[in-house]
């Protein structure tokens, strides 16, 4: 994907805000035709209005029917960014099975089902980019987030397995593991917790959604065609 090559279609989940929205902007700036997907139609419409040539579709990543319907509407996809995620934190001892299931079904199973929807078209075209947004905690673990961590670690395993399965068709599969990124999800944390985290970041700042989007833009490009099965850490040095 670049300004001179063929126009690629990019599908970004969780694209109505935060990292997903930043990814949509970055891919559009690189010449892709971007489709924004999330649950909130009003937010999607507003977000899409600010990205020339983009479109949007509602999508519930916890529902196989919703995923199938969304991809049927948009047609072939060249670049898939699996970014949508939810959290339902709690200590493992008291974690309800419903909270475990909700997080795994959206963050991991939903990502897998979305990949299944785009694979046939990518294999036919012999070109594709699948980029899974994992997390630093998928590599380090984090107390009180057994479900979220398991889902994000699972995405890394899924990335490596798929990369081996479909490399012969010129489809790359990579993961990005963001560290502490300044988004709505992290804004709810206490100042004390934020300061504690900052002390463990060598670059001494929190990341921005645009930092992750730049990595997505690169992995989606022609220049990244020899990179597959990789986990790109975007964390300011917080985990090495």
Residue 226 annotated as catalytic: no
| Helix or strand run (H / E) with residue 174 | strand 171-178
CA 234 to CA 125: how far, in whole Å? 30
Q: What is the CA radius of gyration of the chain?
A: 17
Of the residues 56, 71, 148, 180, which is catalytic?
148
Write out the DSSP string of 122-148.
HHHHT-EEEEEE--THHHH--TTBHHH
* Separation between Cα atoms, residue 19 and residue 83, nearest integer Å: 8
DSSP 3-state assignment of 211?
helix
The pairing of strands 79-82 and 9-13 is parallel
Q: Show which residues are catalytic.
A: 148
């Amino acid at each position: 994907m670049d300004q001179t090559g063929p126009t690629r279609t990019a599908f970004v989940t969780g694209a109505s805000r935060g990292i997903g929205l930043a990814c949509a902007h970055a891919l559009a700036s690189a010449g892709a035709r971007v489709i924004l997907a999330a649950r909130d139609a009003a937010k999607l419409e507003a977000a899409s209005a600010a990205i020339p040539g983009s479109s949007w579709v509602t999508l519930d990543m916890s529902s196989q029917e919703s995923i199938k319907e969304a991809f049927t509407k948009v047609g072939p996809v060249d670049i898939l960014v699996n970014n949508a995620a939810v959290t339902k934190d709690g200590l493992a001892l008291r974690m309800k099975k419903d909270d475990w299931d909700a997080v795994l079904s959206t963050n991991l199973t939903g990502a897998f089902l979305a990949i299944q929807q785009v694979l046939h078209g990518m294999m036919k075209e012999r070109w594709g980019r699948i980029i899974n947004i994992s997390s630093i905690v998928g590599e380090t673990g984090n107390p009180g987030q057994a479900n979220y961590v398991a889902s994000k670690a699972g995405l890394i395993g899924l990335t490596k397995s798929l990369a081996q399965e479909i490399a012969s068709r010129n489809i790359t599969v990579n993961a990005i593991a963001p560290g502490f990124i300044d988004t709505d999800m992290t804004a709810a944390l206490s100042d004390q917790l934020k300061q504690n985290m900052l002390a463990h970041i060598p670059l001494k700042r929190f990341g921005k959604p645009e930092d992750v989007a730049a990595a997505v833009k690169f992995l989606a490009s022609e220049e990244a065609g020899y990179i597959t099965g990789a986990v790109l850490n975007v964390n300011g040095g917080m985990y090495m």
